[in-house]
Amino acid sequence: MSSEYDVIVIGGGHAGCEAAHAACRLGCKTLMLAVNLDTIAAMPCNPAIGGPGKSHLVKEVDALGGVMGLAADATYLQLRMLNVSRGPAVQSLRAQSDKREYSVWMKGFMESLPNLTLRQGMVKELVIQSNRIAGVKLAFGERLSAQAVVLCAGTFLDGTIWIGKETQPAGRAGEFPAVGLSGCLKSLGFTMGRLKTGTPPRIDGRTIDYTHLAQVPGDESPAFFSFLDKRPQRLQVPCHQTRTTAKTHEIICQNLSESPMYSGLIHGVGPRYCPSIEDKVVRFADKESHSLFIEPEGRSTYEAYLQGCSTSLPIHVQQEIVHSLPGLESAVMIRPAYAVEYDHLPAIQFSHCLMAKALPGLFAAGQMLGTSGYEEAAAQGIIAGINAALYVKERDSFVLSRASSYTGTLVDDLVTKEIGEPYRMMTSRSEYRLLLRQDNADARLTQVGRRLGLVDDYRWELFERKQCAIQQEQKRLQATRLYPSCEWKQVLAAYDEEMRQSITAEELLRRPRVPYSVVIKMCPPEGEFPWAHEVETDIKYAGYIARQKSQVAQAEKLDGVRLPLDLDYARLENLSKEAREKLNRIRPETVGQASRIGGVSPADVAVLLVWLASKRRCQESPTQQEANLAGWA
């Protein structure tokens, strides 16, 4: 059994799988260590992939050559496009997944990869030599060497689960926590925090009365996460909707003292945008009811997930809550809800390539960096895995900008903003969301994945064929002229539109009320064209897209201005006190990154630019100074 590797990935969750896959695909001898090899890529919370903002991350991971999209497409129970009545920037695909199939599929895929070894084991210490990562030490004393280590420990670092006032050590229900590694990280000088997340009860689906519950079906013609072809067509399973009642709220309010969160037993901060049911009732006391979804967990099990009912109240209270819900009056709860509290590493201690600033060779990704969600973990995982491999090969690190992707936005937010709660990706996080749609993730990132070496020949051929077809269709619409006629007058009247003179098909499609389906009826393409949505969006929103590209260009100017890594901001007296403290703590690499740090004002950014210009003038000859002044002008 080998004890020497290029890259060791600690953790077999969604971040760990993407990191290990990327590292081994880039030619590194990689080891993935998991506390339990039977729970690779487990879904301990919601058995679903995607949703607003999150689907964008999954599609970006796929475009780079990652795995999550393939697994989601292979194991879905239901596929549904959300926000279809709204603009293309916020439309999001969501898959209800078979949680067992997903884990089995992912484990089989990981086991098939050359250069990758899977082993069961718990890491207790990091091995350091000459202030660099040299490997890991396992709980039973075995030492494994590596040039890079990727931490993807999820909720397992000194994890503790809570049900009422009862607690026990666990990374999640039924699995013991990772003990010792937190202490090791603290001894190395890392700052640790404490976060909290939770999960709802699981219900015996055979004991639920679905008669009067609203059914939520999947899409008849579903979209998929992966940009590859030949996606499996599977029989879809419906979800159902119920709601809390006045009785539900009464039970919760009467038992708040039994909640470890409200009684002060839990000190970790929970996710703002995925609150527990007791938190919802307290924070939104004006609401008479909250929507809950009953979601199947798999084809081979009768367990159902009660989405929206996360709680840490005692079991007998949970049972009362379940029985107060329409359709669940006689339901049997087979797994109780619980909260899990765990250690995490505030991400400001890491650079944009997700390597620790103070310890070369140590990378991290996933929930232990302060995020929530499988998709956020996977996106970080592929970035950390790529950069671990590049570090081993002594190549330049790989960083995605905010303007290029939601993944870049996620990483930038984590490492430049002091986030005190589990971070959840939403479309509102990106100031460039019209450019960063889920449908064009391949156009944005497949070329990047190809240059890195993650995109194989087959995916690249599909990508080139698609882009060529889209360009040809856009040219065809620009070149095709349409003329008024009685037939087209009646067609356009249904959309409250008219055509008084000849126009191009592109000009007609640019009208907000005219869909692509009408345009192709007037000038049908040759053969099947499955990328109508991409073409329609690019044409209809061309003006807005051009405006956002201009905003990107302005922002990139600041991101191109580098700051000295050894700059002592305390000496810049014109900076605000808060800015000096935060800049010295976070150590941004560029003025653009500095501008996104909370507490750094536009006035502080101006001070930095003036200081840099002054420093540059001191170092330049008069001729260089004149040239630079002309450039700025």
How big is the CA angle at 164 (ends 159 and 165), to the nearest 5 degrees? 75
Q: Is residue 552 part of a domain?
A: no
Helix (H) or strand (E) holding 542: helix 542-559
**How many CB atoms neighbour CB 528 within 10 A?**
5
**Are 605 and 594 spatial neighbours (Cβ–Cβ below 8 Å)?**
yes
> 49 and 88 share a domain?
yes
Exposure string for 123-141, b = 16+ CB within 10 A, e = fewer:
bbbbbeeeeebbbbbeeee
Co-location of 179 and 235 in the same domain: no
Residue 267: per-residue pLDDT: 74
Q: Is the model's pLDDT at 258 over the cut of 80?
A: yes
Helix (H, G, I), strand (E, B) or coil at 85: coil
Res. 10: pLDDT tops 60: yes
Does 601 map to a domain? yes
Query: For the segment 432-441, what is each residue's pLDDT rounded down to a tens digit?
Result: 999 999 999 9
As for how many domains the chain has, the answer is: 4
Evaluate whether 96 touches 237 at the Cβ level (below 8 Å): yes
Residues whose CB is less than 8 angstroms from the CB of residue 403 and which lie 6 or more positions away in sequence, other chains included: 432, 435, 552, 555, 556
Asked if residue 56 and residue 129 are part of one domain, the reply reads yes
Res 632: pLDDT: 41
Contact predicate 92/83, CB 8 Å = yes
Is the pLDDT at 5 greater than 70? The verdict is yes
In a domain, 553, yes or no: no
Q: What percent of the chain has pLDDT over 90?
A: 75
Per-residue pLDDT of 36-93, as tens digits, reads 999 999 999 889 999 999 999 999 999 999 999 999 999 999 999 999 988 888 999 9
Q: Indicate if 303 and 380 belong to the same structural domain.
A: no
What's the confidence (pLDDT) of residue 378? 98
CATH number at residue 209: 2.40.30.260
Q: What confidence score (pLDDT) does residue 621 get?
A: 55
- Using only C-alpha atoms, the chain has a radius of gyration, in whole angstroms, of 26
Q: Are residues 12 and 27 in the same domain?
A: yes
Q: 61 and 165: one domain?
A: yes
Under the banding of pLDDT at 50, 70 and 90, the label for residue 630 is very low
Q: What is the pLDDT of residue 400?
A: 96
**213, 269: one domain:** yes
C-beta of residue 62 within 8 angstroms of C-beta of residue 441: yes
Return the pLDDT at 629: 42
Mean pLDDT of the chain: 92
Distance between CA atoms of 64 and 383, rounded to whole angstroms? 10
β-pairing, 116-120 vs 30-34, is: parallel
pLDDT at 232: 86
Looking at per-residue pLDDT, the higher value among 270 and 318 belongs to 318
> Taking 60 as the threshold, does the pLDDT of residue 112 lie above it?
yes
Can you say whether residue 559 is alpha, beta or left, with left for phi > 0 and alpha for psi between -120 and 50 degrees? alpha
What is the average pLDDT across 406-414?
96
Shared domain check, 346 and 331: no
Helix (H) or strand (E) holding 92: strand 92-97
Domain with residue 29: its CATH number is 3.50.50.60
The encoded tokens of residue 220 equal: 């008849």
Q: Is residue 466 part of a domain?
A: no
The reply to whether 443 and 574 lie within a common domain is: no
Candidates 273, 277, 270, 264; CA nearest to 313 is: 277
Task: Assess whether 324 and 358 both reside in one domain.
Answer: no
Q: What is the pLDDT of residues 168-191, one digit of tens each?
A: 999 888 888 988 999 999 999 999
Does residue 133 carry a pLDDT above 90? yes
In angstroms, the CA 205 to CA 139 distance is 40
pLDDT confidence of residue 389: 98
Of the residues 547, 574, 590, which one is the last residue of a structural domain?
547
Residue 163 has pLDDT above 50, yes or no: yes
Average pLDDT value for residue range 421-436? 91
H-helix or E-strand spanning residue 343: strand 338-344
Q: What is the DSSP letter of 322?
A: H
Tens digits of residue pLDDT in 96-105? 999 999 999 9
Do 283 and 318 lie in a common domain? yes
Domain that holds residue 605: 560-632
Tokens coding 5: 């590797």
Pick from 486, 513, 547: which residue ends a domain?
Answer: 547
Would you say residue 17 lies in a domain? yes
Cβ atoms within 10 A of the Cβ of 572, count?
16
Q: What is the CATH number of the domain that holds 478?
A: 1.10.10.1800
Q: Could you count the other beta carbons within 10 Å of the beta carbon of residue 12?
A: 29
The answer to the question of residue 419 being in a domain is: yes
409 within domain boundaries: yes
Which tens digits make up the pLDDT trace of 217-242? Answer: 999 999 999 999 988 899 999 999 99
Contacts of 35 (CB under 8 A, 6+ apart): 12, 120, 121, 122, 156, 171, 175, 176, 178
Does 435 share its domain with 568? no
Is residue 308 predicted with pLDDT exceeding 80? yes
Region 437-464 average pLDDT: 97
Among residues 283, 51, 1, 11, which one has the least CA distance to residue 149? Answer: 11
Backbone angles phi, psi at 296, to 5 degrees: -65, 145
The CB density around residue 267, as the number of other CB atoms within 10 Å, is 11
Q: What sign results for the dihedral spanned by CA atoms 234, 87, 53, 292?
A: negative
Alpha helices, DSSP H, located in 305-427: 315-323, 374-392, 406-416
CATH number at 578 reads 1.10.150.570
d(CA 358, CA 361): 10
Domain for residue 462, yes or no? no
339, 365, 396 - which closes a domain: 339
For residue 112, give Cα distances in angstroms to 115, 124, 303, 537.
Answer: 10, 28, 30, 39
